[in-house]
Each structure stands twice: as C-alpha cells, then as structure tokens.
C-alpha cells in the first residue's frame, strides 16, 4: 500500500511538469526539472491553477452551462443571464488542492477579434483546457469552424499540450431520432478542423435540459485531476472493505463525479448513464433542500443520506471538505452501520491526503475534522460488526490505512 501511493504521488508531479497550466501565477514555481519530493513539500504544487478557456460563438450557451454546473442555477433560470462582456474569470475550488481557473470568454465578434490579436498571449498562454462550444442551431457553420481554426492555431502556438473539448450544444432543439446522425456529422467537421489536436480532441453532445451536460463536464474535470490513481486506490480499498457494488466520489458543490469504482459484485447495471443521472438527481434534491432552508443552493445541504431497501443499501456521506462519497452495497442494517464506520475511517485518511502539504505532517490537525465521530467509532467498532467474518477483517484493514500517511508527510 505504502509503495503504491508513493509511486502515485511522483506520477502526479510528473503530470504537473508536463502541463504548463499549473504555473499561471507570477509567483508560481519556475519551470525547471524539479525533484518531485522537494517541490511537493514546498507546497507549490498545491497552488497550481488550471486555466480553462470557455469559448464559442456569442449566444451559444457558454455562460449558461458554467452557471448551471458551478453556480447551481436551475436550467430555466439561465434565461436571465445577459451577454458576457470580455472575459469573466472565476476560480472554482474543486478538490481540496485543485483550483479551476475558469475563463468565460465573451463570444461576440469584437471580443473574439481581440483575443486573437492584441490579447493573444494573455489569453492563450498556460491553457490547461480549451472548451469550445458549438451551437447546433447556428446557421453559419462554416464561419464558426473558421473561428475555431483560428483559435486552435493560437492555442497551438502558446499551449500545445492543452486538452481540447468541443461541446455541441443545444441538442435538445434537434429531433430525437436525428440527434445521433447530426452530432456525428458535426463531430467529423470539427475533427477535421482541429489540426494537431484532432486525435486528442473529445466532443460531446450537450443540452442544459438533461444530464448530458453533467457527462461532458464530469469528463472534462476528470481530465484535470492529476492524482486520480491514488484516489482510485483508496476508493477501491473502501469498496472492498464494505463489499460494495459501487463507490462514487462526487465533488460536493457541483455533484460532478470525480471517480467511479465498480466492483465485480456490481457488474451488469442496466443504466450506463447513471453517473450523470445521479448528479442530476442529487442536485435537484439539493435545490429542494436549499429552497426549504432558504439558504444558498451552492452550500452544503446534507451531511449524510442513506437509504436502506431490501435489495440494496445506499449511503451518501460527506467525505472531505468538498467531496462526498456514494456507496451502494448489499442490503442489511448491520451492513449499513458497518459501512458508515468504514466511511468514517476512510474519511480520516482521505482528509490527510486532501490537505495542503504543510499541515499534512501534523496529524492532530487532521483529527479535528471528525471530533467525536472518529474516536468514538474506534472504540465501538466491535458491537457494530456484521455476522460475516470478512467485514470484520475489512474494518481493521481500512483502519490500518492511517499508518502510512504519517511517515510520508515527513
């Protein structure tokens, strides 16, 4: 376990080195070949910001999507939005140390012209991701593609390693039967125009009226998370401990799926699109809660949510400061208690991992996170055991995950 995680950490550093977007700040580290451990403990990687450009023709729906995903707007509320002037920059805190630096670029011709000429370097330097939005209803497809090519050229010049995502938006306006064909046709055109990015470019059909938006953005954000394999390790461990069919880590305010683990027990779900559906369902629920409590809809609305049904158990629990975890596992009351204890233990370990490096070494700080919860569960683990022996062992395994974290920090 220990060796695996160390490897994963160094892996993550190397991702950052390749990606120049991590150093958009003036005070950020110089782009040298750094030794991974030094860089890491200095905490500079933690400040890394990923610059995301959101571009596309005026009125294609860029700001609408941004507001739905990151500001918790309801789809029908976006009609109130006005046109974006110049660039609207927003910083979205995603996972603990990952700050998304989102640049919503106004799509009117005058602005685009500016971006391509005088502000070229300012805009296209250190780009991690370019998201280009195409309006499927647009009548000037050729002109849209020309603008796209120009933007791609600039991107090649300043940020050749950036990822490019194309969203073919407003798909709800196309008739259901022809949606796929229309999208494929448009995708072919976009790929042709993508020049050197053609192979890496990913495109999605989207609309703000259903979960397709969450699928596209979930994938985009996932491409930005550098330490995915570490997260995966932990989650898989947790999944095995509670004999789960499925474990999903969500970012808390956007409810985008960060990582999804499906064990052998959970094969054969009839819903391949359930991640997006979950995002959609949970976000709707969060809205209802927010309306009821008359609080902001982007704030946390629940700490724990569980369903116990005769065929399955489902627990959604706050995990780290801005993630929550959803576990689905076999039915039974003892299983649910067991799983909650295990999640509590895993939360502790994850919290250490989510913290900035400087405070990672000090474990007392980490404990502050779950003041009564952790210590109490430690003592009262035994009465909560399920009847099967496997679960009993698994609690201990999860608990032992705490140990490697302390030497790693130093």
Partner 1 sequence: MPPTETVFLPTTVSIKKHMLKSFRTFDIWDLPGQINFTSSGYDTEGIFGPAGAIVWVLDAQDNYVESCARLFETVMSLQQTRPNIKFAVFIHKTDSISDDYREDTVRDIQQRITDDLDDAGLTNPPITFHSTSVYDISISEALSKVLQLLIPQLPTFEALINNIAVNCCFHKLYLIDTLTKLFIASDTSPGDTASYSLLCDWFDTLMDLADLYSTEGQSNESHAISERNNGDTSNDRNAVNGSALVKPGATMSTLAPPYITENDAHSFVKGSRGIDLYLREITVQLVLVGWSKQSGFAERKPLIDYNVSLFSKAIKDCLQVIAPDPPETEEAQSSDNS
- Is residue 310 a contact point for partner 1 (CB under 8 A)? yes
Judging by beta carbons within 10 Å of its beta carbon (0-12, 13-18, 19+), is residue 328 exposed, middle or buried? buried
CB of residue 269 vs partner 1: minimum separation in angstroms?
5
Sites for partner 1 among residues 279-308 (CB under 8 A): 281-282, 284-285, 288-289, 291-293, 295, 299-308
Q: Which stretch binds partner 1 (CB under 8 A): 48-56, 169-177, 212-220, 327-335?
A: 327-335
Euclidean distance between CA atoms 373 and 103, whole angstroms:
40
Q: Which stretch binds partner 1 (CB under 8 A): 194-202, 214-222, 275-283, 361-369?
A: 275-283
Using the minimum distance from each CB to partner 1, give the nearer residue, 225 or 282.
Answer: 282
Euclidean distance between CA atoms 197 and 160, whole angstroms:
9
Using the minimum distance from each CB to partner 1, give the nearer residue, 34 or 300.
Answer: 300
Using the minimum distance from each CB to partner 1, give the nearer residue, 67 or 317.
Answer: 317
Using the minimum distance from each CB to partner 1, give the nearer residue, 117 or 175.
Answer: 175
- Is residue 209 a contact point for partner 1 (CB under 8 A)? no
Number of residues that bind partner 1 (CB under 8 A): 44
Tokens of 306: 């569980």
Of residues 34, 277, 385, 408, which one binds partner 1 by CB under 8 A? 277
CB of residue 80 vs partner 1: minimum separation in angstroms?
19
Of residues 43, 59, 96, 266, which one binds partner 1 by CB under 8 A? 266
Tokens of 347: 């939360």
Q: Which 8-state DSSP code applies to residue 332? A: -
CB of residue 330 vs partner 1: minimum separation in angstroms?
6
Using the minimum distance from each CB to partner 1, give the nearer residue, 122 or 302.
Answer: 302
Using the minimum distance from each CB to partner 1, give the nearer residue, 304 or 396.
Answer: 304
CB of residue 389 vs partner 1: minimum separation in angstroms?
8
Bridge partners for 328 per DSSP: 246, 314
Euclidean distance between CA atoms 102 and 311, whole angstroms:
42
Judging by beta carbons within 10 Å of its beta carbon (0-12, 13-18, 19+), is residue 223 exposed, middle or buried? middle
C-alpha atoms less than 13 angstroms from C-alpha of 156 in its C-beta half-sphere: 13
Q: Which stretch binds partner 1 (CB under 8 A): 38-46, 56-64, 122-130, 268-276?
A: 268-276
Residue burial 88-109, b: 16+ Cβ < 10 Å; e: rest? eeeebebbbbbbbbbbbbbbbe
Sites for partner 1 among residues 350-409 (CB under 8 A): 387-389
Q: Give the list of residues 6+ apart from residue 375 with CB closer than 8 angstroms, or none.
A: 367
- The answer to whether the CB of 52 falls within 8 A of the CB of 100 is yes
- Is residue 79 a contact point for partner 1 (CB under 8 A)? no
Using the minimum distance from each CB to partner 1, give the nearer residue, 33 or 79.
Answer: 79
Of residues 26, 110, 176, 309, which one binds partner 1 by CB under 8 A? 309
Of residues 175, 271, 379, 410, which one binds partner 1 by CB under 8 A? 271
In terms of Cα–Cα distance, which of 311, 361, 315 is closest to 336?
315
Sites for partner 1 among residues 3-22 (CB under 8 A): none
Separation in Å, CA 117 to CA 110, 112, 147, 158: 11, 9, 13, 13
Q: ∠ at Cα 211 (233, 77), nearest 5°?
A: 125
CB of residue 176 vs partner 1: minimum separation in angstroms?
16
Q: Is 101 left (phi over 0), alpha (psi -120 to 50) or beta?
A: beta
Of residues 118, 269, 358, 375, which one binds partner 1 by CB under 8 A? 269
Note the Cα 86 to chain centre separation in Å: 26
Sites for partner 1 among residues 232-251 (CB under 8 A): 245
318 in helix, strand or coil? strand
Using the minimum distance from each CB to partner 1, give the nearer residue, 85 or 309.
Answer: 309
C-alpha atoms less than 13 angstroms from C-alpha of 216 in its C-beta half-sphere: 26
Cα-Cα-Cα-Cα dihedral of 53, 323, 8, 166, to 10°?
A: -30
Q: Which stretch binds partner 1 (CB under 8 A): 83-91, 140-148, 157-165, 325-333?
A: 325-333
The residues of the shown chain that bind partner 1, judged by CB under 8 A, are 245, 265-266, 268-271, 274, 277-278, 281-282, 284-285, 288-289, 291-293, 295, 299-312, 314, 318, 328, 330-332, 334, 387-389
């Amino acid at each position: 376990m220990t060796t695996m995680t160390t490897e994963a950490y160094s892996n993550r550093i190397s991702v950052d080195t390749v990606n120049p977007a991590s150093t958009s700040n003036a005070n950020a580290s110089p782009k040298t070949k750094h030794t991974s451990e030094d860089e890491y403990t200095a905490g500079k990687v933690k400040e890394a910001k990923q610059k995301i450009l959101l571009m596309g023709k005026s009125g294609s729906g860029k700001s609408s999507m941004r507001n739905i995903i990151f500001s918790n707007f309801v789809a029908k509320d976006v009609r109130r939005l006005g046109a974006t002037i110049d660039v609207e920059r927003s910083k979205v805190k995603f996972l603990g140390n990952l700050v998304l630096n989102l640049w919503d670029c106004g799509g009117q011709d005058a602005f685009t012209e500016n971006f391509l000429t005088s502000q070229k370097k300012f805009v296209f330097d250190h780009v991690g991701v370019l998201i280009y939005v195409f309006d499927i209803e647009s009548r000037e497809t050729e002109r849209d593609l020309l603008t796209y090519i120009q933007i791609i050229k600039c991107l090649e010049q300043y940020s050749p390693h950036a990822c490019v995502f194309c969203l073919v938006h407003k798909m709800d306006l196309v008739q259901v039967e022809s949606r796929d064909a229309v999208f494929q046709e448009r995708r072919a055109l976009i790929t042709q125009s993508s020049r050197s990015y053609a192979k890496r470019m990913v495109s999605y059909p989207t609309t703000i009226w259903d979960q397709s938006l969450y699928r596209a953005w979930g994938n985009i954000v996932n491409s930005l998370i550098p330490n995915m394999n570490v997260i995966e390790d932990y989650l898989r461990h947790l999944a095995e401990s509670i004999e789960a069919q499925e474990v999903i880590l969500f970012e808390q305010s956007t409810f985008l799926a960060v990582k999804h683990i499906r064990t052998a027990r959970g094969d054969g779900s009839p819903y391949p699109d359930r991640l997006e559906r979950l995002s959609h369902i949970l976000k709707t629920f969060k809205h209802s809660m927010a309306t009821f409590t008359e609080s902001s809809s982007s704030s946390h609305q629940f700490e724990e949510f569980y369903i116990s049904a005769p065929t399955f158990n489902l627990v959604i629990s706050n995990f780290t400061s801005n993630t929550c975890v959803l576990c689905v596992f076999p039915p039974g009351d003892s299983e649910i208690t067991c799983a909650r204890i295990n999640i509590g233990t895993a939360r502790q370990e994850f919290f250490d991992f989510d913290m900035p490096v400087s405070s990672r070494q000090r474990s007392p700080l980490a404990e502050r996170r779950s003041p009564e919860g952790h210590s109490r569960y430690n003592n009262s683990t035994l009465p909560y055991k399920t009847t099967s022996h496997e679960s009993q062992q698994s609690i201990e395994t999860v608990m032992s995950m705490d140990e490697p974290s302390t030497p790693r920090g130093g």
